[in-house]
C-alpha cells in the first residue's frame, strides 16, 4: 500500500472493505469473530478518532477521524499497533500491558504532530486505551480512543501566557493597581507599586465592608466609610471613578495624596468580571502646585506692593532703553508734566524738560550710554507750556542681566524745587546777615568814635557807650524777628519808651499813631534818634523831674500832593531845659535828628528847644514797597 497523503479524506469503510485482510493475522473479513466485526462497525460511525488493535499482534483497524493522527505514517491498516507506533513504544507498551490485564488507561493533553491541512501542526489529545473482549469474555484487543483537546490546550496556554504577561505588567507598573472580585468586592490583588504607595500590603477584605481598614481620609481628617472608596463604588454601583483626589494615611503614618480611578472590567460578553482601582501619589505634584500657587500669590502680592510703592512715592519713575528712549512713565510723571504716558515714550519726555536743560539731559544719556553706568543730573521739568517749571534731581541706573549687559534703565526724578528755592533764599539770607553784621559793626564803630569825642572821662564814655549799645541791641531784636518791613513806627517808639518808663508813672508818657511799617534801612537810624531823645528827656528834659510829661504822636499827612508820616515828640512842663546844663551828648541826639534822618531817610526835621520845652518833628516820606506803604 502506498503512503496516503494527509489531505484526502479517506473513506475508511471503503478501504477496510477493500483491504486484503487475509494477509494479516486477522484473516479474511468474513471469518472475523462477531465481536471484531461489531467493533469495526462501531468505530466507523463514531466521529472521535479510534483505532482498534485486535489480537496478540494488535492488528490495527481505524476510522476516518483517526487518520490525521497517523500523519505521514505508512498505511497502518492491518499492521501491528506497536509497529505503527514504534516511536511511542515506551509510552504505549505499559498502557497496553494494563489493558491486557483488563484495565483502561487514559492520558490527557498528549501532544501530537499532525498533518492536517497539508502542514504539520501541533495538536493535543486526551486518549484512552480500553480492553475489548471477544465472545468468551477474554480480552482480545485494545481500543484506543482519542479526543482532541488542542483548542482547549491552546487556549489554556494562551491564557497562561496572557496571565503571565499581565502579571508582569502589573508587577512592573508604576501605578498602584488593586483588583477586587465581583460581586463581593473581596480584594484579590495589589501590585508591588500599590503596596509601596500604601505603605502596607493588601489588607484582607472579604467584601467592601473590609475596606474600612484602609487609610483614606476626608479633608476634615475623618476616615472614609468603606463604601466611599472608589473600588467599593465600582463594585457596588458599577461606578467609573476618574481621577479623584484622596487623602491617605499610609502604613508608616505619613499622610499623602493619591489620584484614584476605579471601575469594573467586563469580559467579551459584556459581563463584569472584576473591579480594578488604580492610583498614584500626587503629593509631590500637589506640593509643586501649591508652591506655584503660593509663588503666584507672592508674585502678585509683590507686584501689588511695587505698584503701590510706585504710585505712592512722590518721585516720578520711568524706564528707558538705549540712550534715553523711554518705555514707560509712572502716573506721577503724567501728573507733574501733563504728558500722557504714551507721549513720553522714545524721546517724547524731552518736551517736559526745560529747553535750556535738554542738552544737559541728552549729554548725560550719551556719556552714560558709553560708560554703562548711571548718572545724576538736575534739570527743570514741568508741563511743556513752560508756565510751571520745577527743579528735579534725576537719577538713572542701569538694570543688568547675569552677564552684566544692560537690559534697561530705571530712573527717578525727585522734586528739589523747594529745596533749591530755600537754598537760594538761605544764600540770600546769609549774605544779608553778613551785610547787616558788618553794617552793625561799622555803626558801633561810629558810635564809639562819636561817644569818645563827646566824653570827657572814661566813666562818661562807658556809661554813654553802654547805653547806646543797649539801644542798638534792643532794636536788633525787632529786626531779626522775621520780615524787617514789619517793624513799625509804633513798635520803635514803644521800645524806647518802655525802656524809659520802667521807673516812671504811666500817665506821664503818652504815645500813639497809626501802624506804619518802616523801611528796613530806616529802622536803626530812627531808633538811635529816638533813643537819644528819650535819654535826653530822662536826663535833662521833661522826665528828669517830677512834673514834666512827654507826648509822642504820629499821623499820616496827605496834603500839598505829598504822602508822608509826621511824628511829633513833645516834652512839656519840665524845668526850663535851656537853663539847665546841656551836655555835649545832648547834641549827639540833635545831630542825629537834624542830619542823619534827612540824610539816610529823606526826613524833614525840626528841633526846637525853648522855654516851653522840647519839640521835635520828624517828617518821613511814605513810599511803596511791594505794594505796601513804608516810611523812610
* Of residues 498-527, those binding another protein (CB under 8 A): 519, 521, 525
Query: With CB under 8 A as the contact rule, which of the stretches 72-80, 86-94, 207-215, 428-436 interacts with another protein?
Result: 428-436
Find, among 182, 184, 248, 194, the residue nearest to 218 by Cα. Answer: 248
Query: With CB under 8 A as the contact rule, which of the stretches 124-132, 277-285, 481-489, 589-597 interacts with another protein?
Result: 589-597
Query: With CB under 8 A as the contact rule, which of the stretches 26-34, 140-148, 299-307, 591-599 interacts with another protein?
Result: 591-599
Among 434, 545, 558, 610, binds another protein (CB under 8 A): 434
Q: Give Cα 232 to chain centroid, integer Å.
A: 42
Residues 510 and 556: their CA atoms lie apart, in Å, by: 18
3-class state of residue 245 by DSSP: strand
Is 453 among the residues that bind another protein (CB under 8 A)?
yes
Among 109, 595, 606, 608, binds another protein (CB under 8 A): 595
Q: Rounded to the nearest whole angstrom, what is the least distance from the CB of residue 624 to another protein in the complex?
A: 13
Is 5 among the residues that bind another protein (CB under 8 A)?
no
Residues 349 and 361: their CA atoms lie apart, in Å, by: 11
Closer by beta carbon to another protein, 241 or else 447: 447
Q: Concatenate the DSSP letters of all residues of 100-167 into one string.
A: HTT--EEEEEEEEEEE-SSSEEEEEEEEEEEEEE-TTSSEEEEEEEEEE-HHHHHHHHHHHHHHHHHH
Query: With CB under 8 A as the contact rule, which of the stretches 34-42, 310-318, 444-452, 496-504 interacts with another protein?
Result: 444-452
Is 437 among the residues that bind another protein (CB under 8 A)?
yes
Closer by beta carbon to another protein, 50 or else 524: 524
Is 447 among the residues that bind another protein (CB under 8 A)?
yes
Among 429, 441, 470, 547, binds another protein (CB under 8 A): 441
Q: Rounded to the nearest whole angstrom, what is the least distance from the CB of residue 585 to another protein in the complex?
A: 15
- Binding residue count for another protein, defined by CB under 8 A: 28
Is 583 among the residues that bind another protein (CB under 8 A)?
no
Determine phi and psi for 619, rounding to 5 degrees: -110, 110
Residues 589 and 614: their CA atoms lie apart, in Å, by: 12
Q: Rounded to the nearest whole angstrom, what is the least distance from the CB of residue 533 to another protein in the complex?
A: 16
Is 133 among the residues that bind another protein (CB under 8 A)?
no
Crossing angle for the helix pair 458-480 and 489-501, to the nearest 10 degrees: 140
Q: How open is the CA angle 493-499-503, to the nearest 5 degrees?
A: 125
Among 46, 296, 314, 599, binds another protein (CB under 8 A): 599
Q: Concatenate the DSSP letters of all residues of 425-446 into one string.
A: HHHHHHHHHHHHHHHHHHHHHH
Is 480 among the residues that bind another protein (CB under 8 A)?
no
CA-derived radius of gyration, the chain? 67
Residues 365 and 379: their CA atoms lie apart, in Å, by: 13
Q: In the block, which residue shows the cell 468505530? A: 43
Among 245, 306, 442, 547, binds another protein (CB under 8 A): 442
- Point out which residues bind another protein (CB under 8 A): 431, 434-439, 441-443, 445-447, 449-450, 452-453, 455, 519, 521, 525, 528, 592, 595-597, 599-600
Amino acid at each position: 500500500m502506498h503512503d496516503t497523503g494527509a489531505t484526502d479524506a479517506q473513506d475508511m469503510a471503503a478501504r477496510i472493505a477493500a483491504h486484503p485482510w487475509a494477509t494479516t493475522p486477522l484473516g479474511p473479513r468474513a471469518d472475523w469473530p462477531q465481536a471484531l466485526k461489531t467493533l469495526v462497525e462501531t468505530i466507523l460511525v463514531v466521529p472521535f478518532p479510534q483505532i482498534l488493535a485486535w489480537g496478540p499482534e494488535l492488528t490495527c483497524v481505524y476510522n476516518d477521524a483517526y487518520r490525521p493522527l497517523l500523519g505521514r505514517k505508512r498505511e497502518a491498516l492491518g499492521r501491528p499497533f506497536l509497529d505503527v507506533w514504534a516511536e511511542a513504544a515506551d509510552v504505549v507498551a505499559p498502557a497496553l500491558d494494563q489493558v491486557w490485564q483488563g484495565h483502561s488507561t487514559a492520558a490527557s493533553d498528549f501532544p501530537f504532530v499532525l498533518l492536517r491541512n497539508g502542514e504539520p501542526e501541533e495538536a493535543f489529545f486526551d486518549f484512552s486505551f480500553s480492553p475489548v473482549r471477544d465472545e468468551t469474555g477474554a480480552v482480545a484487543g485494545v481500543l484506543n480512543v482519542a479526543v482532541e483537546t488542542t483548542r482547549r490546550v491552546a487556549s489554556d496556554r494562551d491564557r497562561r501566557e496572557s496571565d503571565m504577561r499581565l502579571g508582569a505588567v502589573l508587577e512592573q507598573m508604576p501605578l498602584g493597581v488593586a483588583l477586587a472580585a465581583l460581586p463581593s468586592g473581596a480584594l484579590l490583588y495589589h501590585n508591588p507599586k500599590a503596596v509601596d504607595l500604601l505603605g502596607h500590603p493588601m489588607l484582607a477584605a472579604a467584601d467592601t465592608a473590609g475596606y474600612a481598614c484602609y487609610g483614606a481620609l476626608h479633608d476634615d481628617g475623618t476616615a472614609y466609610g468603606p463604601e466611599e472608596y472608589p473600588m467599593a463604588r465600582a463594585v457596588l454601583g458599577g461606578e467609573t471613578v476618574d481621577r479623584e483626589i484622596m487623602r491617605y494615611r499610609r502604613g508608616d503614618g505619613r499622610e499623602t495624596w493619591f489620584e484614584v480611578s476605579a471601575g469594573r472590567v467586563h469580559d467579551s460578553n459584556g459581563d463584569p468580571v472584576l473591579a480594578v482601582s488604580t492610583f498614584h501619589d500626587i503629593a509631590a505634584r500637589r506640593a509643586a502646585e501649591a508652591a506655584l500657587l503660593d509663588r503666584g500669590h507672592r508674585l502678585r502680592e509683590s507686584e501689588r506692593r511695587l505698584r503701590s510703592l510706585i504710585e505712592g512715592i512722590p518721585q516720578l519713575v520711568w524706564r528707558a532703553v538705549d540712550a534715553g528712549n523711554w518705555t514707560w512713565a509712572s502716573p506721577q510723571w503724567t501728573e507733574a508734566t501733563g504728558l500722557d504716558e504714551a507721549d513720553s515714550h522714545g524721546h517724547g519726555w524731552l518736551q517736559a524738560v526745560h529747553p535750556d536743560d535738554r542738552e544737559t539731559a541728552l549729554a548725560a544719556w550719551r556719556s552714560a550710554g558709553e560708560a554703562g553706568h548711571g548718572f545724576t543730573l538736575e534739570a527743570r521739568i514741568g508741563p511743556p507750556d513752560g508756565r510751571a517749571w520745577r527743579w528735579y534731581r534725576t537719577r538713572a541706573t542701569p538694570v543688568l542681566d547675569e552677564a552684566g549687559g544692560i537690559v534697561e534703565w530705571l530712573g527717578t526724578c525727585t522734586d528739589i524745587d523747594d529745596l533749591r528755592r530755600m537754598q537760594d533764599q538761605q544764600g540770600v539770607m546769609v549774605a544779608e546777615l553778613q551785610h547787616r553784621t558788618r553794617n552793625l559793626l561799622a555803626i558801633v564803630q561810629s558810635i564809639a568814635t562819636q561817644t569818645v569825642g563827646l566824653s570827657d572821662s572814661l566813666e562818661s564814655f562807658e556809661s554813654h557807650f553802654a547805653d547806646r549799645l543797649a539801644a542798638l541791641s534792643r532794636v536788633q531784636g525787632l529786626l531779626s524777628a522775621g520780615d524787617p518791613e514789619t517793624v513799625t513806627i509804633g513798635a520803635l517808639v514803644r521800645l524806647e519808651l518802655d525802656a524809659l518808663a520802667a521807673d516812671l508813672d504811666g500817665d506821664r508818657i503818652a504815645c500813639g499813631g497809626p501802624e506804619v511799617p518802616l523801611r528796613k534801612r530806616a529802622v536803626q537810624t530812627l531808633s538811635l534818634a529816638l533813643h537819644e531823645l528819650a535819654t535826653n528827656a530822662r536826663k535833662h528834659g521833661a522826665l528828669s523831674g517830677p512834673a514834666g510829661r512827654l507826648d509822642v504822636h504820629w499821623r499820616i499827612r496827605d496834603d500839598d500832593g505829598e504822602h508822608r508820616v509826621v511824628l511829633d515828640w513833645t516834652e512839656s512842663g519840665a524845668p526850663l531845659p535851656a537853663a539847665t546844663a546841656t551836655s555835649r551828648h545832648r547834641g549827639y541826639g540833635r545831630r542825629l535828628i537834624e542830619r542823619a534822618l534827612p540824610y539816610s531817610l529823606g526826613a524833614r526835621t525840626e528841633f526846637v528847644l525853648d522855654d516851653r520845652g522840647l519839640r521835635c518833628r520828624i517828617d518821613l516820606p511814605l513810599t511803596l514797597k511791594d505794594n505796601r506803604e513804608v516810611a523812610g
